[in-house]
Amino acid sequence: MTMVKIQIDGKQYEVKQGKNLLEAGLTLGIDIPHFCYHPAMGSVGACRLCAVKKFRDADDKQGRIVMSCLEPVTEGMIIETRDDTSKDFRASVVEGLMTNHPHDCPVCDEGGECHLQDMTVMTGHNYRHFDFKKRTHNNQYLGPFIAHEMNRCIQCYRCVRFYRDYAGGKDLNVFSSHNHVYFGRHEEGTLESEFSGNLVEVCPTGVFTDKTFHKHFTRKWDLSNAPSVCTGCSVGCNIIVSERYGSLRRVMNRYNGAVNGYFICDRGRFGYEFVNDEKRIRTIKIRHKKNDNQEEAENETLISLLKTELSKDKRIIGIGSPRASIESNFALSTLVGKENFYHGISKKEHLLTDTILNFMKQSSIRTPSLKQMEKADAVLVLGEDLVNTAPMVALALRQSTRNKSFETAEKNGIPSWNDAPLRELAQDEKSPLFVITSFKDSLDEIAENSIRESYDGIANLGFAMAGLLDTKAPSPSNLNKEHQNLAEKIATILKNAKNPLIVSGVHSGDERMVQAALNMAKALSSVNKNCMLSMVLPESNSMGLAMMPGKSLDDLASLEEIDTLVVLENDLYRRASEKSVNALFEKSKKVIVLDHLINKTTQRADLLLPAATFVEAEGTLVSHEGRAQRFYKALPDKEPVMESWRWIGEMIQAKEQKQEATWKRFDDLVASLTHELPVFDGLEKHMPDADFRMLNEKVPRQTLRYSGRTSMNAKVAVSETRITLDEDSPLTFSMEGQSEMPPSSLTPFYWTPGWNSVQALYGYLDEPNGSMKGGDPGIRLIEPAENDNTEYFKEMSSTSENHERELQIVPVYQIFGSEELSTKSPALAKRIKDPFIYLNPEDAKAVGVDDDELVHLEIDDNKLEIKVKIENSLPKGVVGMAKNFPEMPFVMLPGYGRFKKINS
Amino acid sequence: MFSILQTIWLTFLHLFHKAETVQYPEEKPYLAPRYRGRIVLTRDSDMNERCVACNLCAAACPVDCISLQATEDESGRRYAEFFRINFSRCIFCGFCEEACPTYAIQLIPDTEMGEYDRQNLVYEKEHLLISGQGKYHNYNFYKQAGVDMGVKGKGEGEMEEKPIDVKSLMP
Amino acid sequence: MNHILIIVGVLVLALTIAAGLIWVERRLLSLWQDRLGPNRVGPLGLGQVLADMIKLFFKEDWIPPFADKPVFVLAPGILVLTILLTFAIIPFGPHFYVFNSNIGILFFLGNSSLGVYSIVLGGWASNNKYSMIGAMRASAQMLTYEVFMGLSLMGVVMMADSFNLNTIVEAQKGGWFIIPQFIGFVVFFIAGVAETHRLPFDIPEAEGELVAGYHSEYSGMKFGMFFVGEYLGITLISALIATLFFGGWLGPSFLPPFVWLMIKTFFFIGIFILLRASLPRPRYDQLMTFGWKVLLPLALLNLLITGAILIFLK
C-alpha cells in the first residue's frame, strides 16, 4: 500500500493512498464529526457535517471548505480541521439538524450512546436560535424487534443505505421530500430483513431502537458488559452481552474484522432473552425413585448421590453437545473416558461434520473468514439456504457480488468508498453468484443463475462441475443438456475468477451433496489455487465437537445397559426419534442432565443440574471456519447455577473421592484440554489467561460512569457487599481496573473520549473497516495443509428410485425457529411461523390441498398434521418441511413420506 | 513576634463576643428554601410522577447512591419501576437535582433524618414521592417532549406542528 | 500518716485537674471561637468530663496485631508515671509538699527526659509509619527543647542559690523571679509548650499529616493515659512556671498559700489553651531552627548576664 504525506492542523502525517480524508482522520485519531459516513457503507456526502478546510498550497491563506468524506487524500494536501470557518460551518449544520429534533433525550433509548449527542458536543452547538415550531411525524409499528420514533430523525440516510443497499431489504424506504423526509415502511408491519436489528447501531439517533432492550432499559454506562460469541449458528459472530441487576439486558455487535465486522443478524441480537426466562432451571432437582417427581435438593444431597452413582465400578456414558463449549465437552469426556463419550448428534450429522473436518485438515484449500468471503469475485452456493442457516454468510456473499462494480469503478477513477457514483455506475453489474438449492433463496435476486433442483440434481451438478474442472474427478453420465451447459458455464467462471468461493454445508443432511461440494472444491483448487471453500455447520460448536474424539448418538443403540447417563446441555429429542431416545433413557439406570431450560430431556432426568448459559460462563467455541473464540461471563454466578464444566469437575471429584477440586479455575481446564487434545494447541497461548493484567489491573466489565453501586443492593443490605470475584478470567465485575484498550478478545465495551456511541469503535481499530488493534480476536485452529492429501469421493448411486410412490422431503431451516435456545426468547418467538411444509403446486394438486390447509404426513414412524404452503420454486417431487421447530417431533431429513389431505 | 502576640490578644478578646451557637433541638436554625437536605420525588400538575427514569441523577451522583429501573405503563408513559436512594451514602451535593431534566428530583430543607438502624436510611420510591410539585410548578416533561408516550399525541405538544402526512403530495 | 494523705491528695488533685481540663479546654476553646462548647451533659456541661471518662474506660482496649505488645502497653504508663512523679517536688504551701528535695529541679529535668521514652516507645511499638514519624519528631523536639529548658532555669537556680523548689519559692519573697529572669521565663515557657508538645508545637501528633502521630494506634484507656498525660504535663509546667517565676504559693494572706498557687497555675493553663486557640503550627524545621538558633543563644545569654550580674553584685 503506497503512503502519501498530508498535513492536518499543522502536523505531518503519512496515510494510505486511496482513502478519503475522513477515514484517514479517524485512523489517525483526529475527531472529525460526521453522520452519514459509515465504514461499511462508504461516503455519500449527505449530511455535510464532516466539513474541513483545504488549502491549495502553503501560500493559500484563504482555503475552502470541503467534505472530508468525499475528498481523496493526495500527496502534500494541507488540511485544517480546527479553523473558525469550518468549525462554525459544522456547528451550524448540527444546529440545522437540531431544529426539529425533539426534546426527549431523557426518555430516548439512544441517550448516552447517541451519535447525535456526541456530534452536538463535538461541534460545540449549544444554543437554539430557531424560535418556530418543530415538525413531527407519526411512527410505525415495525414488529417485535425494532421501535420507531421518526421525530428524532436527522435524515442521514444511513438506515436505508444499510437496509436496502447493504442488506438487500425491500420493505424500508424513504418517503416524501424536503423536511418531510420519512424513513419507514409503506405501511405498518414487521421489518422483514434478517438484519433489521443493525438499524439500532447504524442509526445515529434514536429513530430505530431495540424493543427488547426497551422492556428492561438501562443506560449504556450502567451496563456491565462482557465480550462474547453468538451461539445462534456456526459462524461465531462476536457480540457484547450486557448485564444489569442480575439479568441479561441486551446483545450488541462486537467488532471482529475477520468475522462479523459491524453487523450481526437478528437471531443473534434478539435471541438472548431465554437467559432471563422464568422457566430457567435454577435449582438442583433430584428424582429419588423412577416415576417419582423431581424434587428440589441441596448440594450436599447431590454430592452424596453423585458419589454412589458415579462410583468407579459403574458404566458411565456421557453425551456431549454441539451447543456447549469445547471445555464443557472435554470435561465430560474426562469424566466418562474417551471411549464412553458420545457427541450427542445423529449418525448422519456426525459423519458429515467428520467428512468436512477431515477434508479441511488435509486439503490445501483455505476456509475463508467472512471478510475474505466478501472479497470473493465468483461464488457458488450448493444446497444451503444460507440466510436461514448462516445469515451472516449470506450477508457477506451479498457484498461479494459488488466486487465487479468496484473493479469497474476503479477503471473509471472512482474509489470504492464513494458509494453514490459507484452504485450509479455499476447499475446491475454484479460479480457472478450461483445459487443451486431446492427452493427459493434470498440470494436469488442478486444471483446470476438460481437453479432449483432436487438433492440428487444438486449433487449431480456438483459432481459434473468437478468432473469438468478436473478429469480425475468422478462425473455423472446422465446429465441433461441444460444442466451440462450450466455446469460448464459455472465451472468456467469459477476457474477464471481471482478468488472463487464454494459455499455449502451439512444442513441438507445429504451425504452426496457434501461430497459433491468437496469434490468440486478439490477439482477447482487443482486449476485455481486461490479457491476457497466454506462449509456451514449446524450449531455454534459443531466444529469444536467434531475435533474431539467421540461417537454419534445412534451408536448408543448397541449398548445393552447403562448405569449412569450424563447428558450435557443437549435436548436429545431434537437429535433422534422419540422412540430411540425413550429406549436410551429406559436402559439407563440413572440419568444426569445439565441444562439451562426445561425441555423433554430434562424432564427425564433423575438428577437435574442447573447449568450456566453462555452469558454466565466462559468457554470456547469453534466456528465453521475453524476459528476458536472465547466467550466470557457477563452475569455473575447465582447459586446454585454453575458452569457445566464446574459441575462435571465436581462429578469427577465425587467419582474419585478427592478432596480438592478437579480444575480450580478455567485455565486449569484449558491446560488439560490442550494437553490431552493437541488439535486445540494455541488456545491457552493465544488467549489471555486469568492472570493477565493491564498495568497490574484487571479489565473492568463496567464503564467509569457506572452508577448505583452503593444503592443497587441496599434494599437487601445497606452495607455494600463485596463484588463477585472472577477467578476464571482477566475481567472483573467492577468499574475499577484498566479499561483503556484491552486486548481485542477482552474488549467488553467501546468508549473513547468524546465518543459515547458505537462509533467509539474507531479508536479500537487499525483503520475504519480494518482489524482490531493488536489483531482480531480468535485463533484459527485449522489452516490449509501444505500438500493436498484428499481423495475424490467416488460418486454414489442415487437412492431415489426406491421411493416411487413417495415424495422426497427436504429440511427447510428458518432463522427464527430452527435454533433451539433463541426460540425461547419472547420477542423472537413472535417471529416464528407455524410449522409448515412447502409443496410444489403440482404435487399439492395431486394430494388435493390448497395453501394454508392442513395435511396429514407420514414419515418414518411419525404421523404429523401440518400446514401446507404452496411454493412455486420447488422442483416437482420435492417437499420442504420446517426443521427443528419448537414442539415439532424429530424427523430425520431428507427422507421420504406420504401425504394425505385431511377432510375437514 | 509582635503579630503573634497580637493574634493571641485578638483571640483572647473573643472571650467577650456573643456565641453564634444555635441550641439546636430547642431552637431551629433557618434553612433557605433551596437548602440541600432530604431528597424527594415530585409530581407534575396532573399529580403524575415526574420522574421519567432517565438515569441522569444516578449518573451524576458522585457516591453512586441512586439506583432505579425504567419501565412503562400501558399507555407507554415511562416511569421508574423502582427508585432507591441510599441516604447512608448520600452527601447531599445536589448534583442529582441539577442533572434532573424533568424537575422530578428535588432537595428540600429537611435534614432531620437520623436513624438508629442504618437500613432505615434506604429510601424506596414510596418514601421519596411527595404529592406536590416542589419548587418548580407547572412543568410537565411529557408535554414538552416530542414523543408520544401516552400523555399527549404527536404534534400536540408545546412548540409542535401537526404530524406530517407522508403520502400527501403537497409541498 | 499525714505524709501519705499528702501523697494521695496530690495524686488525686493532679488527676482531677487533668480530667477537669478536658472540659475546661473545650469550653475555653469554644468561647474563643464564638461557640459555647459542651453544655449539655450536667450543669454547665460538667458531666462531659464524667462521660468522657466512662467512654475511655469502656472503649475496646485494642492492641493491633502488628504491634510490639509489651512495649505498646508500657509506653503510656511511662508518660503518666514520670509526670506524676514530678508533682512530688512541687511545694503547694509552706509545708505542703510530698518530697522536699534539694535537687528538685534536676529531678524534674530528669523525669521530663524520661518522658521521651514513652513517646518514642509508643510510636515504635505501634509498628505504623505515621506513629514512627511522630515518635522521631517527638524525640528530636523534646531533646532539643530540654537543653535550654534546663539552661533557662539556671538563672533562677543561681539567684536562689538552690535546686530546692521550697528554697526557690522562699527566695522570691522579695520579688518574683519573673522580673530579673524574664528571658529565662520566656525560654522556659516556650520550651515547656514544646516539652508537652502542645499546640502550636504538637508536631509529633500533627493530625493533618500524621493521623495522630505516635498514638495513632492507641485506643481505649491506653489512649486515655496519653490524653491524661498531656493534661498532667500542662498542669505540671504551669505549676512549675508559677513556682519558679511567680512566687509559687506566695501571696497576700487573705487566701491560703495553696489557693494562690492554684490561681497562678490555672492562669498559665489558660495561657496554654489560648495559645492553642490562636496560633498555627510551625513547620518541623522551623521549630528546630527556632530552638537551636534563637532559644539556645538566648538561654545562654541569659545565663551569662545573670551570672555576671550576680558576681558583680557579690
HSE-up of B152 (CA within 13 Å, CB side)?
Answer: 19
8 Å CB contact of A107 and B86 = no
Is C284 a member of any domain? yes
At residue C51, the pLDDT reads 87
At residue A799, the pLDDT reads 56
A274: exposed, middle or buried (C-beta count within 10 Å: 0-12, 13-18, 19+)? buried
Q: Which chain C residue shows the shortest CA-CA distance from B14? A: C32
Q: Which chain A residue shows the shortest CA-CA distance from B89? A: A710
At residue A175, the pLDDT reads 92
At residue A542, the pLDDT reads 95
Residues A418 and A517 in one domain: yes
Mean pLDDT estimate for chain B:
90
Alpha-carbon dihedral sign for residues A577, A579, A580, A586: positive
At residue C1, the pLDDT reads 65
Test the B interface: residue of A182, A210, A711, A713 with most B CBs within 10 Å: A711
Chain B residues with beta carbon closer than 8 angstroms to that of C278: 7-8, 10-12
C202: exposed, middle or buried (C-beta count within 10 Å: 0-12, 13-18, 19+)? buried
Could you list the residue range(s) of the whole structural domain that residue C280 is in? 64-313
Is A815 a member of any domain? yes
At residue C154, the pLDDT reads 85
With an 8 Å Cβ cutoff, is B78 touching chain A? yes
Query: Do A240 and A226 form a contact (C-beta atoms < 8 A)?
Result: yes
8 Å CB contact of B69 and A149 = no
8 Å CB contact of C32 and B10 = no
What are the backbone angles phi and psi of residue A444, rounded to the nearest 5°?
A: -50, -40
At residue A805, the pLDDT reads 65
Is C1 a member of any domain? no
Partner residue facing B14 (CB), from C32, C275, C279: C32
Mean pLDDT by 10 residues, chain B (171 residues): 86 84 87 92 92 94 94 92 94 94 93 92 94 90 87 86 86 73
8 Å CB contact of C34 and B15 = no
- Percent pLDDT > 70 in chain C is 100
8 Å CB contact of A137 and B164 = yes
* pLDDT (tens digit per residue) in A515-567: 999 999 999 999 999 999 999 999 999 999 999 999 999 999 888 889 999 99
Alpha-carbon dihedral sign for residues A578, A579, A582, A583: negative
Residues A529 and A545 in one domain: no
Mind telling me how many Å the CA of A246 is from chain B's nearest CA?
12
Neighbouring chains of C at 3+ CB pairs under 8 Å are B
Could you list the residue range(s) of the whole structural domain that residue A439 is in? 354-467+480-537
Residues A554 and A529 in one domain: no
With an 8 Å Cβ cutoff, is B79 touching chain A? no
8 Å CB contact of A136 and B85 = no
Round to whole Å and give the CA distance between A206 and A495. 47
Is C227 a member of any domain? yes
With an 8 Å Cβ cutoff, is C274 touching chain B? yes
Contacts across the B-C interface (CB distance below 8 Å): 32
Test the C interface: residue of B5, B21, B23 with most C CBs within 10 Å: B21
8 Å CB contact of A137 and B148 = no
Is C15 a member of any domain? no
At residue C17, the pLDDT reads 84
Is A869 a member of any domain? yes
Chain B residues with beta carbon closer than 8 angstroms to that of A151: 146-147, 154
Q: Which chain C residue shows the shortest CA-CA distance from B12? A: C32
What are the backbone angles phi and psi of residue A154, rounded to the nearest 5°?
A: -120, 20
Segments in A263-318 forming alpha helices (H): 266-270, 299-309
8 Å CB contact of B18 and C32 = no
Partner residue facing B17 (CB), from C34, C275, C277: C34
Mind telling me how many Å the CA of B152 is from chain C's nearest CA?
57
Q: What is the value of ipTM here, to two decimals?
A: 0.89
Is C57 a member of any domain? no
Residues A581 and A548 in one domain: yes
Is A715 a member of any domain? no
Mean pLDDT by 10 residues, chain A (904 residues): 91 93 94 94 92 91 93 93 93 93 92 94 91 92 95 93 94 91 93 94 95 94 95 94 94 94 95 92 91 89 90 90 95 93 93 94 93 94 94 95 92 91 89 94 92 91 92 86 92 94 93 93 92 94 94 90 93 92 92 93 94 94 94 90 94 90 92 93 85 92 92 90 89 90 92 94 92 92 90 73 74 93 93 92 88 87 88 90 90 86 75
A and C interact (at least 3 Cβ pairs within 8 A): no
Tell me, what amino acid is at A177? Answer: S
Partner residue facing B147 (CB), from A102, A180, A218: A102
Q: Which chain A residue shows the shortest CA-CA distance from B162? A: A136
Alpha-carbon dihedral sign for residues C308, C309, C312, C314: negative
3-state class of C280 per DSSP?
coil
Element (H, E) at C157: helix C129-160
Partner residue facing C32 (CB), from B4, B11, B21: B11
Neighbouring chains of B at 3+ CB pairs under 8 Å are A, C
3-state class of A899 per DSSP?
strand
At residue B2, the pLDDT reads 85
Angle between helix B2-13 and helix C257-278 axes, rounded to 10 deg: 110
Element (H, E) at C112: helix C104-126
At residue C119, the pLDDT reads 86
With an 8 Å Cβ cutoff, is B162 touching chain C? no
Q: Which of B60, B31, B63, B57 is nearest to B125 (CA)?
A: B57
With an 8 Å Cβ cutoff, is B145 touching chain A? yes
A378-382 and A433-437: which strand pairing? parallel
Is C8 a member of any domain? no
With an 8 Å Cβ cutoff, is C16 touching chain B? no
HSE-up of A728 (CA within 13 Å, CB side)?
Answer: 24
Query: Do A507 and A517 form a contact (C-beta atoms < 8 A)?
Result: no
Is C177 a member of any domain? yes
Element (H, E) at A62: none
With an 8 Å Cβ cutoff, is B61 touching chain A? yes
At residue A803, the pLDDT reads 61
Please provide the CATH number assigned to the domain covering B26-136: 3.30.70.3270
Residues A669 and A809 in one domain: no
Residues A490 and A569 in one domain: no
8 Å CB contact of A715 and B102 = no
The residue out of A537, A554, A582 marking a domain boundary is A537
At residue C153, the pLDDT reads 85
Test the A interface: residue of B82, B147, B152 with most A CBs within 10 Å: B147
Residues A369 and A490 in one domain: yes
What DSSP letter does each residue of A777-802 carry, written as one string? SSEES----SS----PPPPPPP-GGG
Look at chain C and report how many structural domains it folds into: 1
Q: What is the CATH number of the domain that holds A48?
A: 3.10.20.740
Residues A404 and A495 in one domain: yes
At residue A798, the pLDDT reads 62
Residue A826, all three cell numbers:
419472547
8 Å CB contact of B52 and A107 = yes
At residue A381, the pLDDT reads 95
Query: Do A214 and A147 form a contact (C-beta atoms < 8 A)?
Result: yes
Round to whole Å and give the CA distance between C91 and C114. 22
Alpha-carbon dihedral sign for residues A555, A559, A561, A564: negative
Confidence of residue C10 (pLDDT cuts 50, 70, 90): confident
3-state class of A353 per DSSP?
helix
Sheet-wide strand order for A627-631: A619-622, A627-631, A779-780
Residues A497 and A385 in one domain: yes
Is C48 a member of any domain? no
The residue with greater pLDDT, C60 or A256, is A256
Is a pLDDT exceeding 90 seen at residue C90? no
Altogether, the residues listed in chain A come to a count of: 904
Look at chain A and report how many structural domains it folds into: 4
Is A501 a member of any domain? yes
Q: Which chain B residue shows the shortest CA-CA distance from A108? A: B54
Domain map (residue ranges) of chain B:
26-136
Q: What is the CA C309 to chain-centroid distance, rounded? A: 30
Is A753 a member of any domain? no
At residue A801, the pLDDT reads 56
Residues A544 and A555 in one domain: yes
8 Å CB contact of B171 and A178 = yes
3-state class of A224 per DSSP?
strand
Residues A552 and A636 in one domain: yes
Round to whole Å and give the CA distance between A550 and A568. 14
8 Å CB contact of B14 and C31 = yes
Residues 18-37 of B with CB under 8 A from C: 18-21
The residues, ordered by sequence, that sit 6+ positions from C239 with a Cβ below 8 Å of its Cβ are: C87, C90, C261, C265
Round to whole Å and give the CA distance between A468 and A464. 6
At residue A643, the pLDDT reads 93
